[in-house]
Amino acid sequence: MPTFTALTTLVGKAQADQLGEAMERLNPEPTGVGVFEIEDGSGLWEVGGYFIESPDEAGLAVLAAAFGAKPFVVSELPETDWVAKVKRELAPVEAGRFFVYGSHDADKVPEGSEPLLIEAAMAFGTGHHGTTLGCLKALDRLANEGFVGQNVADIGCGTAVLAMGAARIWPNPVLASDIDEVAVEVAVANAKANGLEGRVICLEAAGFGHPDLAVKAPYDLVFANILKAPLVDLAPDMGGNIVAGGHAILSGILNEQADEVVAAYDAAGFDVHTREEIGEWTTLTLTRR
């Protein structure tokens, strides 16, 4: 079945949201519409739709003009068996003691490693991206330094691979939250597949905005592998939810954005413990003063 995309950019969140809503009324209807801020400081937002029929390009042109957006770029995506492609291309990842793999590579798990199974169909947050890899390496580094997390949370958990890593090596359950309902479902499935039911507790929440997260605070370690803007917004809450001497492991940060994140967390009471660049991404391990 062919798949089509229609993408545009424009200035302003309100206009972008309205354009996204208007796209949903097109005929043929899109199977999904996304509205995202472009994290480059330009102030632009991307609005995109996915279609299983060729979209109405005249209708898209009218919408672009009405909302002051650039003309839509319409593309047909090649038919691809994405799960098979992931299985071929995503080799296992080693990050210190952690070994992230799909079930098709179960025979490659090294003896003595801490295995983390992420299925190919749930491939966002597998450890191949520099952000997830950096966070797992930071977790391994803290453990090697003798740190033992007693009260750990993973904010914006995605597949919950970071929460599962902490639950593998430390004694207490780990809370894993995400704003996206599908991500939470994936996290629950991954915890079950790794035999970590009851050890990784998955919640739908924005930031620390869930009663179960509030009652467990303050934490001695919090992961947040998201994006620069929400990380900066989250800094005051991090300061209020992490104990003195506790740590935050942050990523989703382009190298050129790292100083801005460090400054925001310095203002919230954190010092840099370690800073690592992997490709174009920076991972920060911070310590609460």
Residues annotated in a binding site for S-adenosyl-L-methionine: 132, 156, 178, 225
Residues annotated in a binding site: 132, 156, 178, 225
Write down all domains in the chain, each with its CATH number in brackets: 3-77 (3.30.70.260), 124-288 (3.40.50.150)
pLDDT at 104: 76
pLDDT at 123: 41
Q: Could you list the mean pLDDT of each consecutive 10-residue stretch along the chain, which spans 289 residues?
A: 87 93 92 83 88 93 96 83 55 89 86 86 55 94 98 94 97 95 89 96 94 97 93 96 98 93 98 94 97
pTM value? 0.72
C-alpha radius of gyration, the chain, whole number: 20
Q: In what order do the strands lie in the sheet with 270-278?
A: 200-204, 174-178, 152-155, 219-225, 242-254, 281-288, 270-278
pLDDT at 31: 87
DSSP conformation letters of the chain? --EEEEEEEEE-HHHHHHHHHHHTTSSSPPSEEEEEE-TTSS-EEEEEEEESS---HHHHHHHHHHHTPPPPEEEEEPP--HHHHHHHH---EEETTEEEE-GGGGGGPPTTSEEEE--GGG-TTSS-SHHHHHHHHHHHHHHHTT---SSEEEET-TT-HHHHHHHHHSSS-EEEEES-HHHHHHHHHHHHHTT-BTTEEEEE-STT-SHHHHHHPSEEEEEEES-HHHHHHHHHHHHHHEEEEEEEEEEEEEGGGHHHHHHHHHHTTEEEEEEEEETTEEEEEEEE-
